[in-house]
Amino acid sequence: MLVYDITDLESFQNLNSWLIEIEKNASKNVYKILVGNKCDMENERKVTVEQGKDFAAQYGMKFFETSAKESTNVSDSFIAMTKEIIKSVNNKKPTPKKDNNVVVSSAPSGKSLNAKSGCC
């Protein structure tokens, strides 16, 4: 989660260096989301919504503006991030192979329904 302060242009400008650090230190397919915080301080805004959306689109990230103070979109951003991570993990799971040799039995004392009687 990359978070910048909408009232601080420098924090927005630092996003490029933060992305470089992520690329150097995280796995290649790490999920990233962009969050502009302090949307409750609209009168002090230095970074436009469009700038945030454009940056997120450029790097294939979802974008949210939040207010930690007012709890605006905070849960939504974490839920969106969590859903995407779960989705990516589920997409990486190998498909279970069918094992035609598995016998499911309801025979008493653990005997297989396919068990042969006699010597052969």
55 belongs to a structural domain = yes
Q: Is the pLDDT of residue 95 over 70?
A: no
User: Alpha carbon of 80 to those of 2, 54, 63, 112: distances in Å?
Assistant: 14, 19, 10, 48
Q: What's the domain range around 28?
A: 2-93
112 belongs to a structural domain = no
Percent of the chain with pLDDT over 70: 77
Q: Is the pLDDT of residue 62 over 80?
A: yes
> Distance between CA 52 and CA 34 in Å, rounded?
8
- pLDDT grade for 105, boundaries at 50, 70 and 90: very low
101 belongs to a structural domain = no
Cα–Cα–Cα angle for 73, 74, 76, nearest 5°?
60
**C-alpha closest to that of 51 among 94, 100, 82, 8:** 8
DSSP state of 103: -
**C-alpha closest to that of 41 among 69, 10, 13, 76:** 69
Structure tokens at 58: 């450029």
What mean pLDDT do residues 60-82 have? 92
For residue 88, the domain's CATH number is 3.40.50.300
20 belongs to a structural domain = yes
Provide the pLDDT for residue 61: 94
The number of folded domains in the chain is 1
- pLDDT grade for 112, boundaries at 50, 70 and 90: very low
75 belongs to a structural domain = yes
